[in-house]
Structure 1
Amino acid sequence: MFTMSNSLPLQWFNDRLGTANGLVKLGGGIGATVMALVVQQLIDKVGIAWTFRVMALTSLASGIPTALLIRERAPPSSSSIDMSLFRNLTFFFLFVAGFIGIFALYIPSFFLPTVATSIGLSSTTAAGVMACYNACMALGRLASGIACDQLGSTNMLLLTMALNAVTILAIWSVASTLAVLIVFAALNGIANGAFFVTMPTAIGRLLGPHAAPAGIGMAITGWSVGDLLGNPIAGFLIATTHADRANSIVPYRAAIFYAGGTAAISTALVLVARLRMDANLIKKF
């Protein structure tokens, strides 16, 4: 479902592709916001096992009707992988940027509750911080989609990755109070949500409707490595520094700097891709 949500708007929209992608992804942000609050309540009332069952049944009940209603406009491509796309160096740099950047992307959403309780907040407050994060993620998805159409999708991707890196390195690393943690959750949530709109939109604009579905599919496949390893690496660093048993943000900094470092590298790669399009960074691309 996630993969199709990245490629199907290309078949139906051109001038407003960014806005279409933003609206499609907005639903996921709203669902994440609601689930952040609901899951904690379910765990408290029915336990973890039944919480997973309720989530599975909810996904089943909402996913099947959605899958039945989806319609493709273009005939299926003969191949979902086109290695010749890597000859386009701009696409190559965007691909590698996503491959590396995804290592950091899920770390805040996964470890924010742990960080919140480590600095003395209750589990209920931690759930509230996550709700703020997810709400801003939804806002980032919609706003970035509209901005892609107005300012250029690659420009917005560059701003998104820069915001992700800066908020992790400059704000999360010193988030010892609820106020600072909320600021981080809000800004990084916006960047997180925007990534899943700006990256497929940038690739779609770069490759065009014929080649973009294969390019987006290849990019998402590349993300799977970071999806699998990004959080475990951060978890290993947290366990090594015993941060999960600490009462401050300091022991978490090894994991935070790892996340921020990968985000910064990804930002640099997007910058290279953008400069290959035009040296004038103000120009719409």
Structure 2
Amino acid sequence: MTSMSQPGQAQSYVESDSKDQVEIPDVDALELPDAIPLEKDLSGLTAVSETTCVQQVVPTHKDSEIDFPDGGFRAWLIVFGGACATFSSFGFVNAWGVFQAYYQETLLPDVPASTIAWIGSTQYALIFATGLPLGRLFDLGIYHTPLMVASVIQVVSTLLVGQCKEYWQFFLCQGVAVGLASGCIFGPTLAVVSHWFKKRRSTAYGILAVGSSVGGTVYPIMVRNLITKIGFPWTMRVLALILICSTGVVNLVMRRRLSPVKMPGGLFNPKAFKYPPFTLYTLACFVCFLGLYTVLTYIDVSASLAGIDPAFGVYLLAIANFSSAFGRVLTGILSDKMGCLTIMIPGTALAAVLTYAWPFARSLGPLIAIAILYGFSSGVFVGLVAIPLVHMGETADAGRRTGMLFTILSVAALVGPPISGAVAERSGGYEAVGFYAGSAILVSVALMIEVRYLITGHLFKGKF
């Protein structure tokens, strides 16, 4: 068999009607002489056996043998339920910037900004860290019980945040409890949607991610305006009421379609990392997350330092999150036609450039422009981040592969914003922060270019 180090020799779900058809190497076939050969499905897609990036097993069902709905009322209802899940989890957590500013200016003025940032980064980290166990449970057929318990915890912990007075109380209730609950709600959502879509999967994921953008737009505006009218405790009660409604929809409509599959190898499958594109893509996402949430976390505070009215600063975060919805939907549609990394690479590169420029925007007009463009470009990456992994193996093992990536990303999400806060405190401004975060994102772009080259054998040709 040809060495894995040769680019462009891969077996994947890449469209077979293109002359630049790509094949992704079967990892276990490198060690097992009796590896299962490739099979052609009726839709013109080249599918891999269960050995791709996972241990060799007798498959319960292969993607080539499954008739995916790829539309219809029930399938799109699943997407709507998934959007409610991202609204209740990522949308809530994406509003952290308004809490960072309010705690820093009002509730916890004596606590350093980098210390407060640990609350938000813990939320981000736990959303991803829960992906591995939840992905494994989902593959085994366990889904609705964790979802129901997490929904209750999400509502109760939000109510408790309104009663917090000390830093450690905010950290436990908002950082740990909300983070864990959000992760349990969000974690299996992508896998559920993958049961219903294949050819239009990127489009479905893009619409799914709109829920996060809507939440990141609505929550900050609500929090900033309600605090001045009804106070912080009642504001959190209003948010809890909204979460009751949105998580209720999730519990009612979300259903898996494929039968559970017991894949060997436990929670974590190290054999996946024998496949270089998988390893490099995981590293690219890790590095990107070190800087990706920096602008969203600190754009409110940096605007206040630039002399912008704090009452308007919250709208910058809302504008960025609203703009990201367009990036997620549009790029999801384009990804189905052109390939996921083909779209992710330029979008993420634009986010890096805007991160460099952000600290030098010191008036309202440039800050609004940064918020709009950064929201769109970061939405490209976030909306498509799981798509390459889904194409690196069978749908039956999608939960574990996605969980492995998200668990690794949790470390970067945990330390990224506090590092940015520490850099800001040491340097006395956000110029150095922009350089650090922008450079991290730019390095991830270089790694994604390498991943695409390994899979397609071309820098610009091929679809992936």
| TM-score normalized by the length of structure 1 | 0.91
Q: Which residue of 2 aligns with 1:27?
A: 211
Where in structure 2 are the equivalents of 1:140-155 lying within 5 Å?
A: 140-155=327-342
Which of 97, 103, 112 pairs up with 2:299?
112
Deviation at 1:124, TM superposition (A): 2.4
Q: Which residue of 1 aligns with 2:312?
A: 125
Per-residue deviation, residues 191-213 of structure 1 (Å, max 9, x unmatched): 22222221111211232423332
Name the CA distance, whole Å, in 2 between partners of 1:132 and 1:147: 23
Which of 227, 238, 258 pairs up with 1:54?
238
Question: Secondary structure of 1:71's match?
Answer: coil
Deviation at 1:77, TM superposition (A): 4.1
Amino acid across the alignment from 1:34: V
Question: Secondary structure of 1:75's match?
Answer: coil
Which of 75, 80, 92 pairs up with 2:259?
75
Q: Is the 8 A contact 1:153 1:205 kept in 2?
A: no
Which of 249, 253, 256 pairs up with 2:434?
256
Deviation at 1:46, TM superposition (A): 2.6
Name the CA distance, whole Å, in 2 between partners of 1:12 and 1:81: 25
Name the CA distance, whole Å, in 2 between partners of 1:81 and 1:64: 31
Name the CA distance, whole Å, in 2 between partners of 1:211 and 1:164: 31
Q: Is the 8 A contact 1:36 1:130 kept in 2?
A: yes
Which of 417, 421, 444 pairs up with 1:231?
417
Q: Is the 8 A contact 1:154 1:202 kept in 2?
A: yes
Per-residue deviation, residues 147-196 of structure 1 (Å, max 9, x unmatched): 11121012112123212211112x21321221211121111111222222
Q: Is the 8 A contact 1:241 1:252 kept in 2?
A: yes
Amino acid across the alignment from 1:87: K
* Structure 2 residue 282 is the aligned partner of structure 1 residue 95: yes
Q: Which residue of 2 aligns with 1:45?
A: 229
Number of residue-to-residue matches in the alignment: 276
Q: Which residue of 2 aligns with 1:158?
A: 345
Taking a change above 3 Å as real, the CA distance of residues 163 and 115 of structure 1, as seen in their structure-2 partners, is same
Name the CA distance, whole Å, in 1 between partners of 2:306 and 2:420: 18
Q: Which residue of 1 aligns with 2:460?
A: 281
Q: Once structures 1 and 2 are overlaid, which stretch shifts more, 12-21 or 115-124?
A: 115-124
Deviation at 1:55, TM superposition (A): 2.3
Per-residue deviation, residues 195-252 of structure 1 (Å, max 9, x unmatched): 222111121123242333221111111111122111111111122233xxxxxxxx21
Q: Which residue of 2 aligns with 1:247?
A: none
Q: Is the 8 A contact 2:452 2:459 kept in 1?
A: no
Which of 189, 206, 220 pairs up with 1:36?
220
Q: Is the 8 A contact 2:302 2:359 kept in 1?
A: no
Q: Which residue of 1 aligns with 2:66?
A: none
* Structure 2 residue 215 is the aligned partner of structure 1 residue 215: no
Deviation at 1:10, TM superposition (A): 1.5
Larger gyration radius, structure 1 or structure 2: 2
Taking a change above 3 Å as real, the CA distance of residues 112 and 77 of structure 1, as seen in their structure-2 partners, is farther
Amino acid across the alignment from 1:213: G
* Structure 2 residue 178 is the aligned partner of structure 1 residue 178: no
Q: Once structures 1 and 2 are overlaid, which stretch shifts more, 16-25 or 209-218?
A: 209-218
Q: Is the 8 A contact 1:203 1:215 kept in 2?
A: yes
Name the CA distance, whole Å, in 2 between partners of 1:151 and 1:207: 19
Deviation at 1:140, TM superposition (A): 1.1
Amino acid across the alignment from 1:124: A
Q: Once structures 1 and 2 are overlaid, which stretch shifts more, 48-57 or 195-204?
A: 48-57
Deviation at 1:17, TM superposition (A): 0.7
Name the CA distance, whole Å, in 1 between partners of 2:276 and 2:431: 34
Q: Which residue of 1 aligns with 2:387?
A: 201
Name the CA distance, whole Å, in 2 between partners of 1:240 and 1:60: 42
Name the CA distance, whole Å, in 2 between partners of 1:202 and 1:218: 13
Name the CA distance, whole Å, in 2 between partners of 1:7 and 1:160: 24
Structure 2 unaligned blocks of 5 or more? 1-184
Q: Is the 8 A contact 1:157 1:202 kept in 2?
A: no
Per-residue deviation, residues 34-77 of structure 1 (Å, max 9, x unmatched): 11211111222233333333323422332133123210112334
Identity %: 29
RMSD: 1.7
Name the CA distance, whole Å, in 2 between partners of 1:265 and 1:75: 40
| TM-score normalized by the length of structure 2 | 0.57
Q: Once structures 1 and 2 are overlaid, which stretch shifts more, 99-108 or 47-56?
A: 47-56
* Structure 2 residue 195 is the aligned partner of structure 1 residue 8: no
Return the structure number with greater helix share: 1
Question: Secondary structure of 1:207's match?
Answer: coil
Deviation at 1:106, TM superposition (A): 1.4
| Larger RCO (alpha carbons 8 Å, 6+ apart) | 1
Q: Is the 8 A contact 1:175 1:181 kept in 2?
A: yes
